[in-house]
Amino acid sequence: MGGLGFTPHSQGGTHIVEKNLTRLTVVVATVIDAPAGATPGEGAKLLVRPDGSRAGAFGGGAFEEAVAEDCLAALNEFPRTFVQALYYRPEGLPAGRAGARIHRLEAKGGADAFEVMVEIIEASATLLIVGGGHIGLSLATIGAHVGFFVAVIDDREMYANAERFPMADKVLAGDVDALLRDFPIGPTTYIVLVSRGHKVDELALRQVVGRGAGYVGMIGSKRRVSTVLRHLAEEGYAVEALERVYTPIGFDIAAETPEEIAVSILAEVIAVRRGGSGKPMREGRPPIRPGVREDLPA
């Protein structure tokens, strides 16, 4: 991560980059080629956060504004392009042209231009599993495989230990209420409640709902989860926060085994994280018509 540090002239220094990369997804723009004598020079960096705030600088003119705007666009586009090279005209040109984005072929054709590498740096995502049973074990296995930081909580030590969960990054056994109260939760925390019984799940939901997690899902039948949500609403929990709970949890794939249920749940978690629709990929495919070419996006 230190390799993403800013050049000495930038504002904030390397520690600002590292601090931001550990907490939220950001975009780092790096000048990899610049016109002779132009400012900023090669190696200059600009970090753009999701709220539009920045660290570092490209001179503060039209060029910087254009790059920052494109960084935000890259961050909000799904599916994301994690690394791309963009090209811009230098400052000093007539209004409307200075800092303007140009096509790669124009830049490679000899036009003076900045070449900027735009890279999305994702914050690490935590999969917090409450419940160390069969479904929790399958969730931890698949979650680790797809790159989550996996944490498991259970009030039974025989179901929450390193031997049972060697793939997990953190395993906590003890009072679920207390452990969840102290667990750091934010936009990159994805919480799955799959404990041994609805009472534990309800207890856990009380501790996590409304704390800003990227995803909260709870297993259970429609009837049971409706009862739990109603209880919390009657106790004063915000209805808007309760409505955001994914319950019953997962996509309907007619899952039966713990492994299949885990796939159903992780598919929903990933769809929420990546902004997916959950629809079959074949939807929107044109009908098969021999001899007729269909030009569609890749």
pLDDT tens for each residue of 51-81: 999 999 998 888 999 999 999 999 988 778 9
Q: What was the pLDDT predicted at 267?
A: 98
- Name beta bridge partners: 33: 115
Structure tokens at 175: 């009072």
Q: What was the pLDDT predicted at 294?
A: 64
Please determine, for residue 3, whether its predicted confidence score (pLDDT) is greater than 50: no
More confident residue, 262 or 4: 262
* pTM score: 0.70
Please determine, for residue 114, whether its predicted confidence score (pLDDT) is greater than 50: yes
Sorted by where each starts, the structural domains of the chain and their CATH numbers stand as: 2-121 (no CATH), 126-274 (3.40.50.720)
- Pairing mode of beta strands 126-130, 149-154: parallel
Q: What was the pLDDT predicted at 17?
A: 37
Q: What was the pLDDT predicted at 93?
A: 61
- Pairing mode of beta strands 149-154, 114-121: unpaired
Helix pair angle (134-145, 258-274), 10° resolution: 50
More confident residue, 263 or 110: 263
With a pLDDT cut of 90, the percent of the chain lying above it is 67
Q: Is 271 helix (H, G, I), strand (E, B) or coil?
A: helix
Neighbouring C-beta atoms of residue 30, cutoff 10 Å: 18
With a pLDDT cut of 70, the percent of the chain lying above it is 88
Q: What was the pLDDT predicted at 96?
A: 53
How distant, in Å, are the alpha carbons of 134, 155, 194, 197 from that of 177?
21, 9, 15, 14
Q: What was the pLDDT predicted at 258?
A: 97
With residues binned 3-state (H G I as helix, E B as strand, rest as coil), the percentages for the chain, rounded to 5, are 35, 20, 50
Least confident of 11-20, 28-37, 50-59, 158-167: 11-20
pLDDT tens for each residue of 181-232: 999 999 899 999 999 888 899 999 999 999 999 999 999 999 999 999 999 9
Please provide the average confidence, as pLDDT, over all residues in the chain: 87
The edge-to-edge listing of strands for the beta sheet with 149-154 is: 170-173, 149-154, 126-130, 189-193, 215-218
